[in-house]
Every structure is written in C-alpha cells, then in structure tokens.
Amino acid sequence: MTTMRDVARVAGVSAKTVSRVFNDDPHVTEETRERVRWAMQKLNYVPNLLARSFRAGADAAVGLAIPDIADPFFAAMTSSIEVDLVGRGMAVVVTSLGHGGPRVQLAERERSALEALLRRQISGLIVACVSADQSYLAPWQERTPMVFVDRAPKGLSGVYVIEDDLGGAREAVAHLASHGHRQVAFLGVSTPVTTTRRRLKGYRSALAENGLPDSPDLIYMPAESAEESAAELVKRLEAPDPPTAVFSSNIPCTMALVLALQRAERTDVAVVGFGDFPMAAALAPAVTVVDQDPAGLGRIAVERLLQRIEDPQAQPRRRTVLPVHLIPRGSGELPPA
C-alpha cells in the first residue's frame, strides 16, 4: 500500500509537507502543492482510512444526513459523495432529516436521526442541518469528525462548506432590475434554515443597491410548504400593483412557482431561481437560475472530512464558500408587463 512517505519521496518533499498539502495548509506554495498532487495521482495514493478506523474502533463508513434525497440539489451532492467515498473503500450510510412540519418536530427528528448514525461508531459525519440549533452535537464531535454542508451549524463551532448565498441573491435581483423590474418579490419557505436567511439578506441588499422598494408585501414565505408559498404569491399577482418579477430562493420553491404560474396561464412574470434543476432549460420560457455546484460541494466536503479523519490534530479550514453564477435562459430576461 502506498504511504505518505512514498508520495513525499516522489514529490521530493518531506512527509510533513505532504500532510500539509492534504490538509490544505495555506502556507504551502502552489508549486509544491502541484508537485505533491502529481505524486499522489502517479502513485494512486489515498489515505489509509481503513487502518485508522480500525485503530479507532470505528466502522469504515461515513454517515450522510440531508433534508430530502428527492431534492435535485441534495441528490446530486449525495451521488458525488458516494462515488468519492466508495472509491476510497468506505461505505456511506444515508439518512433524510426532512424539511417540513413544526420546528420542534424538525429539531427532534434531526437530533434523533443524527444520534442514531453516531451510535453506529461511524468514521465521520457529513450533514446538512434542518433545525436552528446543533449544540447537542458537541459531545459527539469530540470523538467523531464532522463536516457541515450547505449551511453552517448553529450553537456549535465546526467545519462547513457553503455556497455564496449572499452574492448569488444579489446577482439575481440585480439581473432582474437591469431588465426594468421595480417590483421584485422574494419567494421562500418559513424554516430555520440559514440558507434562506442569507438569500433574503442578499435580496434586500440588492434592492437597496438598485434603488428598488423593500416592502413586506413583496416577501412571500408564509408557510413551510413550497407549494403553499408559491400559491400565495400567484394570488398576489391579481392584486393592485403586483410584482413583475420573482427571485425564488431554492429549487423546490422555483419548481412550485413554475407550476403555479403555468396553471394560472401567466407567462409574463420574470423568474430567477436559486439552484438549477432537471428540465429547467426545456420549459417555456426556460428558467434563468443562479447555478450551484452540488457535486463540487460534495467533493470538498469529503476532502475536509478525510482531513479530519486522517489527522485529528490538524486544523482544517473552518469555512469554505463556493462561488455561484447566473445562467440567463429566458424567464429572468422578460420585461415588465
């Protein structure tokens, strides 16, 4: 089995330098980083996680907890994580936390599901939380490496990988404003998830930057169901002084909104959704989206988790923010009716 010392010998560096590259130490030069990566690929090197797990008394398996496997974003992220870890000889145990219902039930369901995973003596945990407080994970975090994805933990200091929710929301609203829209609505669901709050903050920042009105009547997140929120917004379109454009804060909301608009035979409302989804480009009009990279998010989450498993004493980068970009397709370029 290839070792870290073998990689160091081929790259012409010390084993400690290889460890620093693997742990994404910012003090390593890019030239050295490339040499080590080349040596890793040449030797087909992967960390000896199985041996480390055996010594620690843990299974060579990683727990993955997500809100809903049916969500296209989390489905793509899960697939990426599974392919990566299975290729390294590790199993993946997936559980869904849910994303609807009273907040107390969400919190209880999340805690019950995560603690059930952690009692299995897994090697590590990747989780996209659905509740407003993860402080209960503190005792578990002392013995099980964890990485949080898509949203940072609350009540707990941890390693997390997120997208640029603020920047993506600002770009979406600025795009709608550039096409003449003055009344831009925000569509979301009423949950404690931090992604919604960050995207709402970005939406409001863009309104101020573009001189657009920031009115409570333009914010639609009345329910915990995307379908209910979308239905309320479509009703508002028939009232006086309606919004002419909508920024939808997540994939379920965008899909529900598109369906509700089609049922109402409204093709005159501009829409930009946060997150791409299957068939978005095939609709009429095709849906303009702020595109994320769920597969890339999964890959980086795995890297961060393996760093923690391989070297529990290392100090990995605590916060990683991935860029997003807008894809114009038609729905976000409609002029005000």
**Do residues 234 and 127 share a domain?**
no
Same domain assignment for residues 220 and 282: yes
Tokens representing 31 are 């030239």
Strands (E), 164-255: 184-187, 219-220, 245-248
- Helix (H) / strand (E) element for 4: namely helix 4-11
Cα–Cα distances in angstroms (integers) from residue 312 to residues 19, 58, 119, 145, 326, in the given order: 12, 14, 19, 8, 38
Judge if 113 and 242 occupy the same domain: no
Rounded to the nearest 5 degrees, what angle is found at the Cα of 218, between the Cα atoms of 214 and 220? Answer: 130
Say how many C-beta atoms besides its own lie within 10 A of residue 200's C-beta: 19
Rounded Cα gap, residues 269 and 173, in angstroms: 14
Among 333, 244, 251, 330, which residue's Cα sits nearest to residue 287?
330
- Measured CA distances, 167 to 128, 235, 285, 303 (Å): 20, 29, 25, 24
Same domain, 219 and 103: no
pLDDT, residue 104, reads 75
CATH code, 185:
3.40.50.2300
| 38 and 83 share one domain | no
**pLDDT tens for the chain, residues 1 to 337:** 577 888 899 999 998 888 788 766 778 888 898 898 888 878 877 555 444 444 444 557 899 999 998 899 999 999 999 999 998 888 999 999 987 666 778 888 999 999 988 888 788 999 999 998 999 999 888 889 999 999 999 999 999 999 999 999 999 999 999 999 999 999 998 877 889 999 999 999 999 999 999 999 999 998 778 999 999 999 999 999 999 999 999 999 999 999 999 999 999 999 999 999 989 999 989 999 999 999 999 999 999 999 888 877 777 778 999 999 999 999 999 999 8
- pLDDT for the residue numbered 102: 67
pTM summary value: 0.78
* 264, 313 Cβ separation under 8 angstroms: no
Task: Give the domain range for residue 119.
Answer: 49-163+294-322
Q: Are residues 269 and 329 in the same domain?
A: yes
Phi and psi of 96, rounded to 5°? -100, 135
* Per-residue pLDDT at 54: 44
**Residues 55, 132 share a domain:** yes
Domain shared by 155 and 303, yes or no: yes
172 with 243, same domain? Answer: yes
- Name the β-bridge partners of 79: none
Furthest C-alpha separation in the chain: 72
Q: What is the pLDDT of residue 23?
A: 66
| Residues composing the chain | 337
Query: In sequence order, what DSSP letters do the residues of 32-63 get, joined into one string?
Result: HHHHHHHHHHHHT----HHHHHHHHT--SEEE
Q: Are residues 301 and 270 in the same domain?
A: no
102 shares its domain with 141: yes
Domain tally for the chain?
Answer: 3
| 156 and 283 fall within a common domain | no
CA dist., res. 301 & res. 305, Å (int)? 6
The pLDDT of residue 51 is 47
